Amino acid sequence: MIVPIKSLYEAHLTVRDLDRSVAFYRDVLGLPLAHVVPDRNVAFFWVPKAETAMLGLWGVGTAPMGMRLHIAFTVELTDVEHSVAALRDAGLTPHFNNTPIDEPIVLGWMPATSVYFDDPDGHSLEFISLLPDPPRPDLGTVSLSEWRALTR
């Protein structure tokens, strides 16, 4: 190890329409807009507040191709639980492996509970919260209610 890494500070995504994506990340997800550089077609957001971490959105113009990338946002457990309804209220589809879900799922090997959804460019976003329970890789991926029934 060269130096010990404490956390991820920034990540970047390409977007087809910077204004649309700025509105989504600012108004739907509530991230504070930090800085826009119009001549470079880029916007930066603080995650979740100034100087904690940063997300850069880079406009790619009218390119006919793009990449689907993934970013996970750490949130409180109760916020993961409420996110399914909140995402639906915002017109988004909570899912796991592209199958709509009615409650958060648990990744037993971590264990963590999460809800996936897509941004306007199809990037995979996730709300995730680590659970205080011991890992249960034998359970695979289960709903949060199943996890609670099997681990209590």
Judge if 42 and 85 occupy the same domain: no
Q: What is the pTM of this model?
A: 0.91
Q: What is the pLDDT of residue 3?
A: 61
Q: What is the pLDDT of residue 63?
A: 59
- Tokens at residue 104, please? 């958060």
Q: What is the pLDDT of residue 65?
A: 65
Judge if 30 and 52 occupy the same domain: yes
In a domain, 1, yes or no: no
Radius of gyration of the chain (CA): 17
CATH number of the domain at 25, please: 3.10.180.10
How many Å from the N-terminal Cα to the C-terminal Cα in the chain? 39
Q: What is the pLDDT of residue 67?
A: 83
* Structural domain boundaries, residue 125: 68-152
- Total structural domains in the chain? 2
Judge if 59 and 86 occupy the same domain: no
**Which residues does the chain have with pLDDT short of 50?**
none
Judge if 94 and 143 occupy the same domain: yes
150: Cα within 13 Å, side-chain hemisphere? 16
In a domain, 122, yes or no: yes
Q: What is the pLDDT of residue 43?
A: 95
